[in-house]
Amino acid sequence: MVEREFREEQIRVEEFPPFIRIALKGSARKELFSRTMKKLRTIKKEYEKSEGVFDALYGKKKSKILRLLSESPQTARKLIERSGLSPSVVYHFLSFLKKRQRVTEKGHIYYLEDDSTSLFLDEIVTIEEDPSLRRRYGVSVKELELAYFLWNTYTEVEPGGGRYSKDCPNVYTLADAVHRWRTGRTAIPVWALIQLEEVSHSDMLHKEGSIIQYHLPPSIPVKPYYNDKYKLPIEVDNDMDKVVIQLLQKMSKSRIYIFPKRRRWLFEKLHHSFGEFDDTTFRIPVAITEILKSYYGTKTLARSSAHIPPRIRDRWLKLDPLFRIVEESSLLLHIISLASRSNGGFEITSRSNLLLQEVTTFISGIGLGELSVHRKHQRPHFRVYLSEGKINVLRRYAHLFQNHPDLLLWSRIPLNTIAEKIVLTNGDFESVKHICHEELARFVESILRSLERKKVYERVDYLQYEEEITGYFWKKRLIPSPRRMEELLEMYMAEETMLYV
C-alpha cells in the first residue's frame, strides 16, 4: 500500500531536460573539469583505423615496432635487431605502449593487443586535428579532446533541443562551447554535465550548494534556494500535481500567469519547490515549465490541450482505492477552486474538452453520478456544472483521514472493501465508522473460520466469540492476527471452564 503521508518523489538534476543550463559554483566547476581532464587520457573511442594510422601517431620508425608485433609476438632483443632502432628507443617505446595498453609482456615476450576498432581520444585528436581551426576557435588540445568525447552524445540529444539547443555544426564549435563552460562564461547544459560527472566519477550534482542557478536562455534564471534551504533535488508532492493542473488551465502561451484566483498560492508553491526567481511580471521561467512537462509526461502546457498528466494517472492506479479517492477528490477540489460560482454550485470551464471529460469520469468513479460537458455559446470554452452537494461530498472525501484518524489503521485490513462502501454512503461520518467496524468483524470471522478448519480431529465453535474478539480489537485499535486471536480464544475458553467448575 502506498501511503499518502509518505510520498517520496524527487526530480533530480539528471532528469532535467537535456538543454537546461546549469551554473556551477566556481570551485565545483573547476574541480569537475580538472578531474574530467585527467580522466580523458584513459578514454577510448571507436575509430576506423587505416593502414597509416600508427605512422601518423608515432612516426614511421617507431610504428615499425607495432608492425613487427602484428606479425608475431617477439622479445625486445628481436625487435631491436629487426627494427634497427637503438635499445633505449625500443625499451622506452615498449614501456609507453604498455601504459597505453597497446602491448602486454609475458615472460619477456611482447604481444600486441588486438584492438582494431578504437583509439584513445588524444590519438584521435592527433590524427584528425586541424591546427588552424583549433587556433581560430582558441581552444586547447584537452578541450578539443573533451569535445570529441561529447560529440556523439550531442548529436543524439541535439535534434530534440529545438530552439534551446546550441548549434554546433562541428567538433571545433563544440570545443569552443567546452571552453566557455570550463571558464564559467556560460552555464553547462544538463546533457554535457551528466557526461562530465560520469567521466570524473564525481557526485557534483548531488552536493548541496554546488549549483548556483539553472535556466533555459534567454528565460528567467532559477536559484535553487528558498528561505535559506537548498531546493535540489526538487521534491514532488500532491501540491506539485495541483500546480501542474493550474498551469495547464490558466497559464498563457507566453507563460504569464495573470489569472487572479490562487495566483499567490501558485507562486508560493513554485518558490517553495524550485527556489527563487523573478516573479514581478508573473512570468513562469521556461526551465520550470520544461521540467514539469518532462517529469509529468505531457508534451505541452497549452490550455487547449490540457489533460490530467499521465504520471498522475499512473500513480493513482498504484494507490490503494481509499487513498486514490482522497487524492482524486483533493485534485478535483483544486480545479473547482479555480472555477466560478453558478446557480448555487460551480461551473468549471476550460478550453480543453478532454480535461473536463476526465473530470466527469473521476466524478462518476467516486459515486457522484454522471455529468455532461457542454460547449459555451460563442466561446472557445467547454463547461461542466457541479452542485454544492457534490462539492461537499468531495470535501468529505478529501479529508477522510483528518476526519477519521482511525481510518488509516483500518484501511490496512487485508482485502478490505472500505473504499467501495464509503463511495456508496458519500463519506457520511457515522457510515464510515460503521463500515470500518463491519470490515473488522468480517476479518475476525475469516480468521476464526480458518482456525476452526485447523482443528481436524476436534469439533469447536470459535464463531461464538466473534463479537467479543471484534470488540477487543476495535477498542484496542489493533489489526487482528491469528496468533493473538488464538491467545484470546484460549483465555475466553479458560474463563468459561472456570465458570463451569
Considering the domain boundaries, does residue 378 fall inside one?
A: yes
Answer yes or no: is pLDDT of 259 > 80: yes
Q: Which residue, 403, 368, 401, 366, is CA-closest to 386?
A: 368
What pLDDT score does 316 carry?
A: 92
What pLDDT score does 69 carry?
A: 81
Q: Which residue, 172, 158, 182, 134, is CA-closest to 34?
A: 182
pLDDT above 90: percentage of residues in the chain: 64
Cell numbers given for 251: 497559464
Residues 68 and 35 in one domain: no
What pLDDT score does 1 carry?
A: 38
Residues 66-76, mean pLDDT to the nearest whole number: 83
b/e burial code for range 278-295 (CB count within 10 A of at least 16 → b):
ebeeebbbbbbbbbbbeb
Instruction: Write the pLDDT tens digit of every residue in 104-116.
Output: 888 888 888 866 5
Considering the domain boundaries, does residue 464 fall inside one?
A: yes
For 37, counting Cβ atoms within 10 Å of its Cβ (0-12 exposed, 13-18 middle, 19+ buried), the class is middle
What pLDDT score does 51 carry?
A: 65
**Candidate from 20-24, 206-210, 229-233 with smallest mean pLDDT:** 206-210
How far, in Å, CA of 312 to CA of 360, rounded? 16
292 backbone φψ class: left, alpha, beta (φ>0; ψ -120 to 50): alpha
Q: State the pTM of this model.
A: 0.86
Q: Which residues are bridge partners to 119 per DSSP?
A: 45
Residues 278 and 395 in one domain: no
List the domain range (segments joined by +) for residue 26: 18-43+122-214
Answer yes or no: is pLDDT of 6 > 70: no
Considering the domain boundaries, does residue 13 fall inside one?
A: no
What pLDDT score does 225 carry?
A: 96
Grouping H, G, I as helix, E, B as strand and the rest as coil, residue 223 is: strand
Residues 150-166, mean pLDDT to the nearest whole number: 74
Considering the domain boundaries, does residue 423 fall inside one?
A: yes
pLDDT above 70: percentage of residues in the chain: 95
Instruction: For 109, list phi and psi in degrees, rounded to 5.
Output: -110, 135
Residues 460-485, mean pLDDT to the nearest whole number: 93
Residues 330 and 274 in one domain: no
Residues 391 and 414 in one domain: no
Considering the domain boundaries, does residue 170 fall inside one?
A: yes
Answer yes or no: is pLDDT of 4 > 70: no
Residues 36 and 67 in one domain: no
Residues 414 and 381 in one domain: no
Answer yes or no: is pLDDT of 100 > 70: yes
Residues 169-174, mean pLDDT to the nearest whole number: 91
Q: At what angle do helices 121-128 and 53-71 cross, to 10 degrees?
A: 120
**Within a 10 A sphere around the Cβ of 350, how many other Cβ atoms?**
24
Which of 270, 302, 334 is the last residue in one of the domains? 302
What pLDDT score does 162 carry?
A: 56
Considering the domain boundaries, does residue 314 fall inside one?
A: no
What pLDDT score does 355 carry?
A: 94
CATH for 367: 3.10.28.10
End-to-end CA distance of the chain: 48
Residues 24 and 167 in one domain: yes
Instruction: Write the pLDDT tens digit of every residue in 453-463.
Output: 988 777 888 99
**Candidate from 115-124, 157-166, 188-197, 201-210 with smallest mean pLDDT:** 157-166
Residues 92 and 158 in one domain: no
For residue 77, CA distances in Å to 65, 86, 108, 302, 421 come to 12, 10, 10, 75, 90
pLDDT band at 261 (very low <50, low <70, confident <90, very high): very high
Residues 229 and 330 in one domain: no
Instruction: Write the pLDDT tens digit of every residue in 269-293.
Output: 999 999 999 999 999 999 999 999 9
Please, which residues have CB within 8 angstroms of residue 265's CB and are 6 or more apart in sequence? none
What pLDDT score does 498 carry?
A: 77
Which of 186, 214, 242 is the last residue in one of the domains? 214
Residues 250-272, mean pLDDT to the nearest whole number: 94
**Candidate from 53-67, 131-145, 402-416 with smallest mean pLDDT:** 53-67
Instruction: Write the pLDDT tens digit of every residue in 329-367.
Output: 999 999 999 999 888 899 999 999 999 999 999 999 888
**Candidate from 305-309, 403-407, 491-495 with smallest mean pLDDT:** 491-495
What pLDDT score does 168 carry?
A: 83
Percent helix, strand and coil across the chain, each rounded to 5? 60, 10, 30
Q: Which residue, 244, 277, 282, 250, is CA-closest to 264?
A: 282
Grouping H, G, I as helix, E, B as strand and the rest as coil, residue 188 is: strand
Grouping H, G, I as helix, E, B as strand and the rest as coil, residue 424 is: helix
pLDDT band at 173 (very low <50, low <70, confident <90, very high): very high
Residues 129 and 185 in one domain: yes
Answer yes or no: is pLDDT of 117 > 80: no
Instruction: Write the pLDDT tens digit of every residue in 432-444.
Output: 999 999 999 999 9
Considering the domain boundaries, does residue 315 fall inside one?
A: no
How far, in Å, CA of 345 to CA of 355, rounded? 19
Instruction: Write the pLDDT tens digit of every residue in 196-213.
Output: 999 998 888 889 999 999
Domain count along the chain: 5
Answer yes or no: is pLDDT of 172 > 50: yes
Residues 39 and 133 in one domain: yes
Answer yes or no: is pLDDT of 163 > 70: no
Mean pLDDT of the chain: 89
What pLDDT score does 165 carry?
A: 58
Residues 156-175, mean pLDDT to the nearest whole number: 75
> Which letter does DSSP use for residue 187 in this model?
P
Task: Select the highest-mean-pLDDT range: 5-9, 50-54, 226-230, 374-378.
Answer: 226-230
How far, in Å, CA of 325 to CA of 426, rounded? 11
Residue 335 near residue 350, CB atoms below 8 Å = no
pLDDT band at 161 (very low <50, low <70, confident <90, very high): low
Q: Which helix (H) or strand (E) holds 159?
A: none
How far, in Å, CA of 174 to CA of 148, rounded? 9
Considering the domain boundaries, does residue 313 fall inside one?
A: no
What pLDDT score does 166 carry?
A: 63
Answer yes or no: is pLDDT of 3 > 50: no
Residues 257 and 243 in one domain: yes
Which of 366, 400, 434 is the last residue in one of the domains? 400
Residues 407-415, mean pLDDT to the nearest whole number: 94
